[in-house]
Amino acid sequence: MVNKRKQLHLIVFLVLLASTAFTVNPVFSQQTKLTYTPHWLPQAQFAGFYVAREMGFYNDVDLDITIQHPSPTEDVLDLLVAGKADIVSHFLISAIAQHQSGTKMVCFGQLSQNCAQMFVTRKKDSINKPEDLDGKRIGIWEAGFQEIPSALIDEYNCSVEWIPIVSSVNLFLMGGIDAMTVMLYNEYDQIINSGINEDELNPMLFSDFGYNVPEDGLYCLNETYYKNNDALKRFVSASLRGWEYTFANKEYALDLVWKEMKAANIPSNMAHQQWMLDITEKMYNRNDKPIEVGELLEQDYIDAFNLLITIGQLEAEAKPDFDSFYKKNQ
Amino acid sequence: MRQAWKKSFAIRVSLYILPFVSLLIAAILIFYYFFSRGMITDSAESNAGEIAQSAVNRIEQVLVSVEKVTKSEALFTQVFTPDDAAIRLMLSQGIKSNPEIFGGALAFEPNNFNSEQRYYAPYAYRNQDTIQISYLGNENYEYFYMDWYQIPFTLNKAYWTEPYYDKGGGNILMSSFSIPFYKKAESKSIAGIATSNIALDWLTAIVDSIQVYETGYAFLISRTGTLISHPAKDKIMHESIFSLAKEMDNLKLREIGRAMINGESDLVYIDNELFPESWLYYLPFPSNGWSLGIVFPDSELFASLKKMNASLIFLGLIGFSLLCFIIFNAARRVTVPLRKFAKSAREIAEGKFDTTLPEIKTQDEMGQLYHAFEYLRKELGVYIENLKQTTADKEKIESELRIANEIQMGMVPKLFPPFPDRNDIDIYALLEPAKEVGGDLYDFFFIDDNKLCFAVGDVSGKGVPAALFMVVTRTLLRSSAIKDVPIAKIVQALNDSLSQDNEAQMFVTFFLGILDLETGDLEYVNAGHNPPVILTKTKDPVFAKMTGDMALGFMENQVFKAAKIKLKTGDTIFSYTDGVTEAANHYQELYSDERLLSVIKVCQGCSAREIIEKMYQDINLHASGAEQSDDITMLAIKYRGPDS
DSSP B405-461: HHHHHHHS---SSS-TT-SSEEEEEEEE-SSSS-SEEEEEEESSSSEEEEEEEEESS
pLDDT at B1 over 80: no
List, in order, residues 6 or more apart from B175 with CB less than 8 Å away: B160, B161, B162, B163, B164, B197, B198, B200, B288
Measured between beta carbons, the chain B residues lying within 8 angstroms of A192 are: 242
Q: What is the pLDDT of residue B9?
A: 76
In chain B, pLDDT over 70 holds for what percent of residues?
97
| Residue A18 or residue B273, greater confidence | B273
Q: What residues are paired with A105 via a beta bridge?
A: A221
The arithmetic mean of pLDDT across residues B44-71, rounded, is: 89
Q: Which residue of B has its CA nearest to A190?
A: B243
Q: How confident is the model at residue A15 (pLDDT cuts 50, 70, 90)?
A: very low
Å from B245 to nearest chain A CA?
9
CATH of domain A117-209: 3.40.190.10
Q: Do B240 and A74 touch (CB under 8 A)?
A: no
The answer to whether the CB atoms of B145 and A165 lie below 8 A apart is: yes
CB B77, CB B181: distance < 8 Å: yes
Q: CA–CA separation, A246 vs B318, rounded Å?
A: 66
Neighbours of A22 (CB within 10 A): 7
- When scoring B140, B143, B151 by the number of chain A Cβ atoms within 10 A, the one with the most, hence best to mutate, is B151
CB B515 within 8 A of CB B567: yes
- The pLDDT of residue A19 is above 60: no
Q: Do B258 and A195 touch (CB under 8 A)?
A: yes
Nearest to A176 among B155, B167, B224 (CB): B155
Bridge partners of B375, per DSSP, are none
Quick one: average pLDDT of B147-153? 93
Band of pLDDT at residue A26, cut at 50, 70 and 90 = very low
Signed CA dihedral, B384, B387, B391, B393: sign only: positive
The pLDDT of residue A144 is above 60: yes
Q: What are phi and psi of B425, to 5 degrees?
A: -145, 140
CB B282 within 8 A of CB B260: yes
**pLDDT value for A27:** 45
pLDDT for A24 beyond 60 = no
pLDDT greater than 60 at residue A6: no
Chain B CB contacts of A171 below 8 Å: 147, 150-151, 154
What's the CATH fold of domain B28-198? Beta-Lactamase (3.30.450)
Specify the 3-state DSSP secondary structure of B550: coil
Amino acid at A228: N
| Mean pLDDT for all residues in chain B | 87
Residue B163 burial class via C-beta count within 10 angstroms: exposed 0-12, middle 13-18, buried 19 and up: buried
Chain B residues near residue A42 by CB distance under 8 angstroms: none
CA B461, B466, B469, B475 torsion-angle sign: positive
Mutate to test the interface with B, among A140, A167, A170, A273 (most CBs of B within 10 A): A170
Answer whether A218's CB lies under 8 Å from A111's CB. yes
Could you give the C-alpha distances from B41 to A81, A143, B31, B301, in angstroms and in order? Answer: 65, 52, 15, 8
Q: What's CA B1's distance to the chain center, in Å?
A: 25
CB B325 within 8 A of CB B307: no
Q: What is the pLDDT of residue A237?
A: 94
DSSP codes joined into one string, A202-254: EEEEGGGGT-----EEEEEEHHHHHHSHHHHHHHHHHHHHHHHHHHH-HHHHH
**Inter-chain CB proximity A265 and B165 less than 8 Å:** yes
Dihedral class, residue B193 (left if φ above 0, else alpha if ψ from -120 to 50, else beta): beta
Burial string for B285-305 (b: 16+ CB within 10 Å, else e) reads bebbbbbbbbbbbbebbbeeb
Nearest to B257 among A137, A175, A195 (CB): A195
The residue among A307, A314, A305, A297 whose CA lies nearest residue A111 is A297
With CA atoms as reference, report the closest residue to B509 among B546, B538, B539: B546
Distance CA B50, CA B42 (A): 12
> What dihedral angle (degrees, nearest 10) is formed by the CA atoms of B125, B139, A262, B271?
80
Task: Supply the pLDDT for residue B436.
Answer: 62
Classify residue B149 as left (phi > 0), alpha (psi -120 to 50) or beta: alpha
In what side-by-side order are the strands of the sheet with B521-527? B440-446, B451-459, B508-516, B521-527, B563-566
Q: CA of B223: which chain A residue's CA is closest?
A: A194
Asked if pLDDT for residue A222 goes beyond 90, the answer is: yes
Question: CATH classification of B412-639 is 3.60.40.10, yes or no?
Answer: yes
User: Which chain B residues are within 8 Å of A265, Cβ to Cβ?
Assistant: 165, 167, 171
CA atoms within 13 A on the CB side of B344: 21
B161 touching chain A per CB within 8 A? yes
Mean pLDDT over A109-125 rounds to 95
Q: Point out the residue among B171, B238, B261 whose CB comes nearest to the CB of A195.
A: B261
Query: How many residue pairs from chains A and B have C-beta atoms closer than 8 A?
Result: 91
- CA B141/CA A163 separation, integer angstroms: 17
Count the Cβ atoms, other than its own, within 10 Å of residue A217.
27
pLDDT digits over B393-451, tens only? 888 888 887 787 777 777 888 888 888 888 889 999 998 877 666 788 899 999 988 89
User: Where are the strands (E) in B536-639, listed by range?
Assistant: 542-543, 563-566, 572-576, 632-639
**Which of these, B546, B407, B387, lies nearest to B467 by C-alpha position?**
B407
Yes or no, beta carbons of B151 and A170 under 8 Å apart:
yes
Are B223 and B289 spatial neighbours (Cβ–Cβ below 8 Å)? yes
Closest to A299 measured CA to CA, from A289, A286, A313: A289
Do A54 and A256 meet the contact criterion of CB atoms below 8 Å apart? yes
What CA–CA distance (Å, rounded) separates B322 from A148?
87
**What confidence category does residue A69 fall into, taking pLDDT thresholds of 50, 70 and 90?**
very high
Residue ranges covered by each domain of chain B: 28-198, 203-302, 412-639
- Degrees to nearest 5, angle at CA B163 with B161 and B168: 100
Asked if B165 has any chain A CB less than 8 Å from its own CB, the reply is: yes
Q: List pLDDT tens digits, range B593-614.
A: 899 889 888 888 889 999 999 9
* Contact between chains at B242 and A192 (C-beta distance less than 8 A): yes
Distance from CA of A317 to the nearest CA of B (A): 33
Report chain A residues whose CB lies below 8 A from the CB of B242: 192-195
- Residue pair A73/A61 in contact (Cβ under 8 Å)? The answer is no
Q: What integer pLDDT is reported at residue A67 of this predicted model?
A: 96
Please write the tens of the pLDDT for every residue from B488-533: 999 999 999 888 888 878 899 999 999 999 899 999 999 999 999 9
- DSSP state at residue B257: H
Distance, in Å, from the CA atom of B434 to the CA atom of B446, rounded to the nearest integer, reads 29
* Domain residue limits, chain A: 33-114+214-325, 117-209
Average pLDDT over residues B616-627: 89
C-alpha triplet B136, B139, B141: angle, nearest 5°? 45
Which residues of chain A lie closer than 8 angstroms to B244, CB-CB?
269, 271
B18, B22, B24, B28: CA torsion to nearest 10: 150
Do B203-302 and B28-198 have the same topology in CATH? yes
Phi first, then psi: what are they for B442, rounded to 5°?
A: -140, 160
Measured CA distances, B61 to B120, B178, B187, B222, B573 (Å): 31, 17, 29, 17, 146
According to DSSP H, which parts of B97-164 are helical?
147-155
Contacts of B151 in chain A (CB under 8 A): 170-171, 174, 176
Give Cβ neighbours of residue A52 (< 8 Å, ≥ 6 apart): A58, A65, A238, A239, A241, A242, A243, A245
- Tell me what the mean pLDDT of segment A219-224 comes to: 94
CA distance B316 to chain A (A): 50
| Cα of B101 to nearest chain A Cα, Å | 22
Tell me which chain A residue has its CA closest to the CA of residue B171.
A265
Helix then strand count (H, E) for chain B reads 15, 23
Mean pLDDT of B342-352: 83
Query: How many Å apart are CA B616 and CA B427, to the nearest integer?
Result: 16
Question: Is A165 in Cβ contact with B151 (below 8 Å)?
Answer: no
Calculate mean pLDDT across residues A31-53.
94
**Closest CA relative to residue B562, chosen from B618, B597, B522:** B522
pLDDT at B385 over 80: yes
Confidence of residue A92 (pLDDT cuts 50, 70, 90): very high
Q: What does pLDDT average to over chain A?
A: 88
Label residue A21 by pLDDT band (50, 70, 90).
very low
- Nearest-Cα distance to chain B for A51, in Å, is 21
What chain B residue is nearest to A193 in terms of C-alpha separation? B242
Say what the pLDDT of residue B123 is: 93
List, in sequence order, every residue forming a beta bridge with B268; answer none if it has no partner.
Answer: B280
Q: Which of B138, B150, B162, B244 to mutate to test the interface with A (most CBs of A within 10 A)?
A: B150
Quick one: chain A helix, strand, coil %, rounded to 5?
50, 15, 35
pLDDT band at A330 (very low <50, low <70, confident <90, very high): low
CATH class of A33-114+214-325: alpha beta
Task: Report CB contact under 8 Å: B151, A171.
Answer: yes
Q: What pairs with residue B135 in β-bridges?
A: B122
- Cα B497 to Cα B81: distance, rounded to the nearest angstrom: 168
Asked whether the beta carbons of residue B150 and residue A272 sit closer than 8 angstroms, the reply is no
Average pLDDT over residues A86-94: 93
pLDDT on residue B348: 82
Chain A residue closest in CA terms to B256: A195
| Partner residue facing A269 (CB), from B139, B171, B243 | B243
CATH topology of domain B203-302: Beta-Lactamase (3.30.450)
Segments in B81-166 forming alpha helices (H): 84-96, 147-155
Q: For chain A, which residues lie within 8 Å of any Cβ of chain B, measuring from their own Cβ?
A: 71, 73-74, 137, 142, 163-166, 168, 170-171, 173-177, 192-195, 197, 261-262, 265, 267-272
- Each residue's pLDDT tens digit, B541-561: 889 888 888 899 888 888 899
